[in-house]
Amino acid sequence: MTLPTTRIPDPNDAPALRWGVLAPGGIARDWTAALHATTASRVVAAGSRSLERARAFAADFDVDRAYGSYDELVADDGVDAIYVASPHSEHHDHALLAIEAGKPVLVEKAFTRNAAEAAEVIDAARAAGLLLVEAMWTRFLPHIDVVRRCLEDGLLGDVVAVEADHGQLLFPDGPQRMADPALAGGALLDLAIYPIAFAHLALGGFTEVRATGTLTDAGVDAGETVAVIGPQGAVGTLSSTMRAKTPCAASISGTAARVEIDGWFYQPNTVRLIDTDDRELDRFETPRREHGLAYEAAEFARLLTAGATESDLLPLDETLRLMQVLDEIRGQLGVRFPGEG
């Protein structure tokens, strides 16, 4: 028994796009560095509420144009697509701003604050016939495609259990947005989204979701454990916290074998195939560990060049279903963001 190969192409082989970065913060810096290092695409414009910040970003990454407003950025005729890298609380408005300007959009995860906002953005993009993709970078990585193929080919037998965790030490001394309800802070949208999305792929969706967790004094979730059941009765145990670094491992166990991804499972990684006697049968090593964010940008470039309006690797309907799961978990935990309807 051996692992299948990946179908994910080298990012270097993707068509070139001219990108505009909306909100040039930390994740935008990582994404741009990956884009410039391993693809033919380039960021040609950056927009921020602070012209000084946009200019600093442009200088650091040799970007042609810097704007002190998002409206100017999305109106730039020399930009093929917009990457929305603002806090979760702003994704809805900023994605709609780009769509209304006729620009295809790659929106950072979590896609929006809630499912209602996600539905509005998806409906707007579909009505305009524009490409829209959630930047859940894990879905576009080679090792996750190996896992996907294991599931498609029935290599593991009947899937019985999924486990995944994601914990980072980000509170109380981490980024301020993590603790701020107004910015849709908390562990769920930043950290738990990874194990939840992984289990959703492995199980083919959820029929039941049960969550328990703890909240900070400000009312955002500090961490949670989520138990899920898939359509065929398989169970998932998922956890996250922003108060400690955890192993960040993931596994899918079936009646014939299991696959394991060790620490940082959501980044470019190694997949190991283990038989029912705990013997390692095979392993897949991601060919390029660095600059993993380039894979989602490369997928977007291929899709846009082909005239597609969404990705088969993460369809918009699944993005919406995942937001509905996050809403359900927040409801069980008692987390509500200011201004939600």
How confident is the model over 155-196, as pLDDT tens digits? 999 999 999 999 999 999 999 999 999 999 999 999 999 999
> Which residues are CB-neighbours of 308 under 8 A, at least 6 positions away?
131
CA gap 23, 30 in Å, rounded: 13
Q: Round to whole Å and give the CA distance between 306 and 283.
A: 33
C-alpha–C-alpha distance, residues 65 and 55, integer Å? 8
CATH code of the domain made up of 11-137: 3.40.50.720
pLDDT at residue number 338: 94
Mean per-residue pLDDT, 86-101 = 97
Out of 91, 92, 109, 200, which one is annotated catalytic?
A: 109
Domain boundaries, the chain: 11-137, 138-289+313-333
For 24-36, write each residue's pLDDT tens digit: 999 999 999 999 9
What pLDDT is stored for residue 341 in this prediction? 66
Q: How high is the pLDDT of residue 166?
A: 98
Above 70 in pLDDT, residue 242?
yes
pTM here? 0.96
Q: pLDDT tens for residues 30-84? A: 999 999 999 999 999 999 999 999 999 999 999 999 999 999 999 999 999 999 9
Q: Quick one: average pLDDT of 95-110?
A: 98
For 335, the token pair is 């987390």
Q: How confident is the model over 200-217, as a mean pLDDT?
A: 98
Per-residue model confidence as pLDDT tens digits over 121-137:
999 999 999 999 999 99
Could you tell me which residues come within 8 angstroms of residue 288 by beta carbon, excluding any fewer than 6 positions away? 10, 38, 268
Instruction: Assess whether 103 carries a catalytic annotation.
Output: no
> Would the pLDDT of 307 be above 90?
yes
Tell me the mean pLDDT in the region 16-24. Answer: 98
Question: What confidence score (pLDDT) does residue 287 get?
Answer: 83
CATH number of 138-289+313-333: 3.30.360.10
Short-list 112, 154, 132, CA closest to 341: 112
Q: What's the mean per-residue pLDDT of the chain?
A: 97
